[in-house]
Amino acid sequence: MSPSRPKKPSIPEEKVAMSKSPPSCQPNRREFLKNSTGAVVGGSLAATLGAARAVHAGGSETIRVGLIGCGGRGSGAAMNAVRADEGVRITAMAEAFDDRLQRSRQILARQAGDKLEVDDDHCFVGFDAYKDLLASDVDVVILATPPHFRPAHLRAAILAGKHVFCEKPVAVDPTGVRHVLETATMAKQLNLSIVSGLCWRYDLGVRETMKQIQDGAIGDIVAIQENYLTGTLWHRGRKPEWSEMEFQIRNWLYFTWLSGDHIVEQFIHSLDKAMWLMGDQPPKRCFGLGGRQVRTDEKWGHVYDHFAVGYEWENGVKTYAFTRQIANCRNDVEDYVLGTKGRARVLKHTIEGERDWRYPGPKGPSMYDNEHREFFAGIRAGNLINNGEYMSYSTLLAIMGREACYTGQEITWDEAINSTQDLTPAEYQWGDVEVPAVARPGVTKFA
């Protein structure tokens, strides 16, 4: 018997309530649910679709794209969108901070030229910026904020009738994962695309290597090893005029409520490939070890700098998963797959076994360009893509690994999918916010 798929979730309480700009007061989560999402969910999805502008299948009509979260990846994704389809125009931008928005706007003006059509009236700043953008006349949105905001932004985008390119991970806690699963179902009912930023699924060489493995080139899979061993990422410092909330959001990587910790934020790419190899069936259980050995200063928030997790599937297959963000160590990012008749390296695109194989195909387009090509081609052709289920399950796989390491306990899939953990802060306001303690195995509990 395979581990249970998530039960059809009931509509969970909205995860995010956000205000316009600092330092105004915020509605609480309950009010947000009542005022926006809840009202529409309680009503008719078809009516919502009726209000949305359909993007035209087969045509060459302009597709207006709005960018929510104008950082490194959001700006990059906007360029992928522009390159993917002649008719794409970036017409609106939403950001928590004006300086970040203007920086991205300048970069895009240089790179996208006249395909950037964002006037001042379509630049929205603050926690509520996404709502203003969704109310503007865009057909497609790119969601590229820190992952914490994804469940609420995705729900609002789908209910506003927009096709979505949705960066990974899609949540930071199981409550958010269930919310996204439910939104993905709504998207199907509304004939809207959700394409995930789990970009390796759109890499031609990885796809072909996966196909070889699934067609039996290494026999039955016995074990998988996932390595994502890298150095440190950026840190944006602290300015005296910043509130604690602003500091945390600007340095979101280092706060679990915003990023999910790096096992969720970054290592999800590898864990997603393990899920893919296992036919997108979830494992039964996992255990893990982790900690922070080098990034111990308070500037690094409270996240770990290394994790090691052992996942076990119902059929006995195990995945040994290692990730580290520490400078000056041996780095390696690869998926090693051991089978009864051979072995494979997914990122190297090689198979050694009864018949050695190496991917012979073209290198390009890049996976980032390709996911947008397929996204826009699908919208034009009416072949809508919905990656909602796997992007949610892979996010949960990473969350359960994190919780096994944080608590020092075994975590089952059923515990993870049913967990009530919700890392949403009590209030969204530009003032004080708790600095969570570093998790301590044996002491920290999983809700």
Question: Residue numbers of the site for ligand NAD (CB under 6 A)?
Answer: 18, 68-74, 94-97, 100, 127, 129-130, 144-147, 149, 167-168, 197, 199, 249, 265
Cβ nearer to ligand NAD, comparing 270 with 407 = 270
Residue type, 380: R
Nearest distance, CB of residue 78 and ligand NAD, angstroms: 11
List the strands of the sheet with 88-95, edge to edge: 123-125, 88-95, 63-68, 140-143, 163-166, 194-196
Closer of 176 and 342 to ligand NAD (Cβ): 176
Angstrom distance (rounded) from CA 141 to CA 164: 5
Residue whose CB is less far from ligand NAD, 23 or 72: 72
Residue 345, H or E segment: strand 342-345
With respect to ligand NAD, which residue has the nearer C-beta, 96 or 379?
A: 96
Cβ-based nearer residue to ligand NAD, 183 or 212:
183
In 158-201, the DSSP E strands lie at 163-166, 194-196
Nearer Cβ to ligand NAD (63/264): 264
Residue whose CB is nearest to ligand NAD in the complex, by number: 71
Q: Taking the complex as a whole, how short is the minimal distance between the CB of residue 343 and ligand NAD, in angstroms?
A: 26
Closest approach of Cβ 200 to ligand NAD, in Å? 9
Q: Which residue lies nearer to ligand NAD by CB, 196 or 407?
A: 196
CB of 286 to ligand NAD, least distance (A): 21
Task: Give the shortest CB-220-to-ligand NAD separation in angstroms.
Answer: 30
Please give the full DSSP string across 147-179, using - where no structure is assigned: GGGHHHHHHHHHHTT-EEEEPSP--SSHHHHHH
In angstroms, what is the minimal distance from the CB of 127 to ligand NAD?
5
Asked whether the beta carbons of 66 and 93 are under 8 A apart, the reply is yes
Q: How far is the CB of 75 from ligand NAD (least distance, A)?
A: 7
Q: How far apart are CA 61 and CA 81, in angstroms?
A: 15
